[in-house]
Structure 1
Amino acid sequence: MRVVILGDEDTVNAFRLIGFEGYVTDAKSIIPRIKELMAMDDVAAILVTSNISSAAGQEFVNLRTRVRKPLILEVPSLGGAGYSEVNYMAILRSVLGL
């Protein structure tokens, strides 16, 4: 199973250094890239940097709460201004239909 990071160049390169597969993307191309990765059976998780996910807006939030596999998580970007609180329990409930 693979874990893939999508986001800005600095964060993706940092994750590549520790062995993750990663793709530099922008807010316009993030949704098509996630859908492409969702079609692959061996992708277990997709990590998306906070600066890209914020710019992608509600479409990213809807996609993240709608799919069961792969798990889509937001991670802080290296150049980010801060951490936004995410209610992972609510996301899990939504994905699992609880």
Structure 2
Amino acid sequence: MKIVVLGDKDTVLGFRLAGVHETYSFEDTTHEIERVRNKIMELIEREDVGVILITERLAQRVEIPDVAFPIILQIPDKYGSLYGEEQLREIVRRAIGVEIKR
């Protein structure tokens, strides 16, 4: 199964350097947002895609379909998380049952 990354050019470049082979970069324009929607639908239909990583800022601009497979995860971009540290702690606490403290 493949991991696919959708995001801004800098975030995508980081994942390419980390070894992710299939990445797509998009700019924050109306035309590009329509391309993102189309790309997400295309990736969902493919059987070889297991995980789609999409930056939080990009995900805010498009409606993420509620599908069981592939797994679609929102990730921070080069500017950091939109949700803030406290919400990230809560997500980790719910996911693994451990509270992270400073």
Say whether 1:36 aligns with 2:42: yes
Which residue is 2:95 aligned to? none
Q: Which runs of 4 or more aligned residues in structure 1 lie more than 6 Å from their structure 2 counterparts after TM superposition? A: none
Which residue is 2:52 aligned to? 46
Paired positions, count: 81
Which of the pair has more CA radius of gyration?
A: 2
Q: Output the amino acid matched with 1:24.
A: S
TM-score by length of 1: 0.72
The alignment yields a C-alpha RMSD, in angstroms, of 1.9
Mapping of residues 61-72 of structure 1, within 5 Å: 63=65, 66-72=66-72
Say whether 1:23 aligns with 2:29: no
> Where does structure 2 lack aligned partners over 5 or more consecutive residues?
27-31, 92-102
3-state SS, counterpart of residue 30 of structure 1: helix
